[in-house]
Amino acid sequence: MSGTWTVEEVAARVEPGMTVGIGGWGSRRKPMELVAAVARRGVGDLTVVSYGGPDVGLLCALGLVRRLVFGFVSLDTIPLEPWFRRARQEGTLPEVMELDEGMVLQGLRAAAWGVPFLPMRAGLGSAVVDTNPQLRTVRSPYADDTELLAMPALPLDVALVHVHRAEADGTGQVLGIDPYMDAWMCRAAREAYVSCERLGLDPDQPKSCIVDGTCVDGVVVAPGGAWFTDCSPDYPRDQAALEAYAATAKDPVAWATWRQERGL
């Protein structure tokens, strides 16, 4: 199933209790229009898997996240996302699984490949294992008997990603310098939805078609759909808007105004 969808139709696919993977990286190419649409519906009790930025902060600010699986939550120019920081400090984020960035990737790969875990070295000998007692190690079945971390699969109910260009069949093209983990988000998900700046691929950059249309259930044409995060080369991060958003974590009046302006 593919074809063009509205933002509201995609948001309606997210139900309470689901595990939602959100593409992008920090304050770069986040599917903010899709995330805002989910937030407007007030869908809560979510497990969110993300290399987090304002997507995570916004959902935490609205109390919609029950469990967060993350490699980091940052606005880049502001190292720690303010609403995420506040949720951690105030204890309003019930459950977290803080991982190495590579561990999140390996968990997505395991889900995409249909295996319960994948072995890796990252995490061994670090506090990641101490703070995640559910993690286990395995021994290599071969002669070296190497001990490895068994990173569990991170299957997603829904993946939301934003790309520069897409076709109605779901093929997604990333024209920036880094594709992040968006393709793995889509592969690891039962349903995946891609928003794009515009339909139609750039024929001069065929190798940048990183999202496989067979893994995508719907495409949303959403010009500016990553704003205020970076979506270069189409548009840069809106630093003034990012800072205004960040300031709302310490100013209830500014937060109320920000929410009202966005219908949240």
pLDDT at 1: 61
User: What tens-digit pLDDT sequence spans the chain (264 residues)?
Assistant: 668 999 999 999 999 999 999 999 999 999 999 999 999 999 999 999 999 999 999 999 999 999 999 999 999 999 999 999 999 999 999 999 999 999 999 999 999 999 999 999 998 989 999 999 999 999 999 978 899 999 999 999 999 999 999 999 999 999 998 999 999 999 999 999 999 999 999 999 888 999 999 999 999 999 999 999 999 999 999 999 999 999 999 999 999 999 999 999
Pairing of strands 147-152, 172-173: unpaired
* Residue 237 CB coordination number (10 Å): 21
pLDDT at 107: 98
What global pTM score does this model have?
Answer: 0.96
Pairing of strands 189-199, 209-211: unpaired
Please give the domain boundaries of the chain with CATH numbers for all domains: 4-116+153-257 (3.40.1080.10)
Cβ(218)–Cβ(10) under 8 Å?
yes
Strands of the 147-152 sheet, one edge to the other:
117-120, 147-152, 136-139
Amino acid at 145: D
CA-based torsion, 252, 253, 259, 263: positive or negative: positive
What span, in angstroms and rounded, lies between the C-alpha atoms of 79 and 249? Answer: 15
pLDDT at 207: 87
